[in-house]
Amino acid sequence: GSLNPSAIDRLGDSLEAFVANSQRYQAELLKFAIEHYRRHKYTRIGGMFQFMFMDCWPSITWSVVSYARVPKQGYHTLQQVYQPVLIGATLGRTKILVGMDRGGHPRPLYVGCWVVNDRHKTLEGCRYTVALEQDGAVVAQVEGCAPAIAADGVATLPRLEIDQAETLPAGRYELTLALRRGDDLLSRNRYPVELVKVPA
């Protein structure tokens, strides 16, 4: 049988499109899984390693470095999600409803964050920012104070509200998180999101 249009959208209509789509999917899946595992260290998981890091023959595989030693998108994702200090967001979905609902109640954008600290020292005096960016420009940003993050531990940060999100136009954005101590950037992370207006 023939492929339906949604399957073609996922696979692409050329080899180049298939490569780009499959590498993007691999990168998204690696990010989702590894962040989930790291947040639950010592409770639900004891350890992990990257299966099939590099191809040893020319083929289509789960590796993140090709046979020609060219890094795939997943390679750069591994660099991001294995930061010794990693800030992340708990997102139930990537399409987020914002605006006023039919009852006149606002639907602001709340972002719950967490930090994995693999260092052997407690992190204290940190601040974190949650921003929405579009085309590389920050269009909304909020900041919070992080509690002490235990050595070799995981901490949940206070949830932040981006109230400006209600006034932004619908569309695709990048949710950008950063954790700083003084002038030192300890961790940065990004998530693609789409703001959708509540139907009037």
Question: Does the pTM exceed 0.75?
Answer: yes
pLDDT > 70: percent of the chain: 94
pLDDT value at 148 more than 60 = yes
Question: Helix, strand, coil proportions of the chain in percent (round to 5)?
Answer: 25, 40, 40
Residue position matching structure tokens 């999101």? 193
For every residue of 108-161, DSSP letters joined together read: -EEEEEEEEE-SSS-B-S-EEEEEEEETTEEEEEEEEEPPPB-TTEEEEPPPEE
- Grade residue 37 by pLDDT with cuts at 50, 70 and 90: very high
Neighbours of 144 (CB within 10 A): 16
pLDDT value for 1: 43
What's the pLDDT at 2? 45
- Write out pLDDT tens, residues 83-126: 999 999 998 888 988 877 777 777 778 999 999 999 999 999 99
